[in-house]
């Protein structure tokens, strides 16, 4: 079971405060969407929570321990991280690429154990990429590549996973596949945090949303409470149709809001 808590967390990049006194908590068994307009501080926040970006103030605690006191290996074992915009440069097989997820568990120059190979096989099964095991990763389609990168994160065997814009450049069908995979992981007891831009998919699949604007949390709660038409106007500057009354939530931006 993994928990992650931030208290008054702030990050300065140069002279600009990008994350401003954010306090929130994430628990096991929930899929949390971190949303907000471009430049709101979403990616910087999650990197600071992982200890990858220095914080200017406040604290991030992983399982009640200050992230700053933990080694990168210890953090990686507890929280698998999939950053945005990953590019594959080496023609590795899918199986070898997914196996890189086991690195936090391996000593330098050591060989994978049976347990590592089992974890890789299970991750590929959960991400529905086992049939791609022998394919060259650089030759995959965008949707296949997205699922393979998620399999690599799953192979870590961590109790939590943080993914940054996992839907980027995917067609609608593959976006749904990825969101359903993340939701399944959360239902299985994992903590899953996803930076998202598609508000309808966030509303349909996330248990909770954290809405950032200019580095601050402006709303934190279930999707129906966070995604109101008035709030979307204030934060995104758009008019929107918001419908939570039907069988599936619907959030459709209609146009730029008048000043």
Tens-place pLDDT, residues 58-89: 999 999 999 999 999 999 999 999 998 777 77
Tens-place pLDDT, residues 111-142: 888 899 999 999 999 988 999 999 999 999 88
What per-residue confidence (pLDDT) applies to 87? 74
Q: What is the mean pLDDT of residues 226-251?
A: 93
- Whether 248 shows a pLDDT value over 90: the answer reads no
9 and 173 in contact (C-beta within 8 Å)? Answer: no
Query: Minimal CA–CA distance to 162: which of 243, 5, 10, 49?
Result: 49
For the record, the structure tokens of 102 come out as 């086991």
What per-residue confidence (pLDDT) applies to 83? 92
Residue 113 within any structural domain of the chain = no
Residue 194 pairs with which residues in a beta bridge? 33, 163
List alpha helices for 101-256, DSSP H: 114-126, 142-155, 172-187, 199-205, 223-226, 229-236
> Please, which residues have CB within 8 angstroms of residue 36's CB and are 6 or more apart in sequence?
42, 211, 212, 213, 235
177 and 201 in contact (C-beta within 8 Å)? Answer: no
Q: What is the mean pLDDT of residues 169-196?
A: 93
- Whether 169 shows a pLDDT value over 80: the answer reads no
Residue 34 pairs with which residues in a beta bridge? 195, 210
Domain that holds residue 42: 4-88+157-256
Residue 129 within any structural domain of the chain = no
Residue 120 within any structural domain of the chain = no
| Full-model pTM | 0.93
209 and 33 in contact (C-beta within 8 Å)? Answer: yes
The percent of residues above 90 in pLDDT, for the chain, comes to: 82
Residue 134 within any structural domain of the chain = no
Residue 191 within any structural domain of the chain = yes
- Whether 259 shows a pLDDT value over 90: the answer reads no
Residue 110 within any structural domain of the chain = no
CATH no. for residue 83?
A: 3.40.50.300
Residue 152 within any structural domain of the chain = no
Nearest-angstrom CA–CA distance, 47 and 32: 16
Residue 145 within any structural domain of the chain = no
195 and 44 in contact (C-beta within 8 Å)? Answer: no
What is the helix (H) or strand (E) element at residue 34, kind and residue range? Answer: strand 31-35
The percent of residues above 70 in pLDDT, for the chain, comes to: 100
pLDDT averaged over every residue in the chain = 93
Tens-place pLDDT, residues 84-113: 877 777 889 999 999 999 999 887 778 888
For the record, the structure tokens of 127 come out as 């991400």
Phi then psi for 90, rounded to 5 degrees? -110, 140
The count of domains in the chain is 1
28 and 1 in contact (C-beta within 8 Å)? Answer: yes
């Amino acid at each position: 079971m993994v928990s992650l808590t931030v208290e008054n967390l702030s990050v300065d990049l140069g002279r600009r405060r990008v994350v401003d006194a954010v306090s929130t908590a994430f628990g096991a068994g929930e899929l949390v969407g971190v949303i907000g307009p471009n430049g709101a501080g979403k990616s910087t926040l999650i990197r600071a929570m992982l200890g990858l970006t220095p914080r200017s103030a406040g604290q991030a605690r992983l399982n009640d321990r200050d992230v700053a006191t933990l080694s990168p290996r210890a953090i990686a074992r507890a929280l698998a991280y999939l950053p945005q915009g990953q590019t594959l440069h080496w023609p590795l097989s899918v199986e070898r690429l997914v196996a890189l997820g086991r690195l936090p568990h391996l000593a330098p120059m050591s060989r994978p154990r049976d347990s590592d190979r089992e974890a890789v096989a299970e991750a590929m099964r959960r991400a529905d990429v086992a049939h791609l095991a022998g394919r060259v990763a650089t030759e995959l389609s965008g949707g296949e590549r997205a699922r393979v990168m998620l399999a690599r994160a799953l192979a870590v065997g961590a109790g939590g996973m943080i993914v940054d814009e996992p839907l980027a450049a995917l067609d609608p069908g593959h976006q749904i596949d990825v969101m359903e995979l993340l939701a399944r992981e959360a239902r299985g007891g994992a903590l899953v945090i996803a930076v998202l831009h598609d508000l309808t998919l966030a509303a349909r699949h996330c248990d909770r949303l954290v809405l950032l604007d200019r580095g601050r949390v402006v709303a934190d709660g279930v999707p129906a409470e966070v995604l109101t038409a008035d709030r979307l106007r204030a934060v995104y500057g758009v008019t929107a149709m918001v419908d939570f009354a039907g069988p599936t939530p619907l959030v459709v931006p209609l146009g730029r809001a008048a000043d």
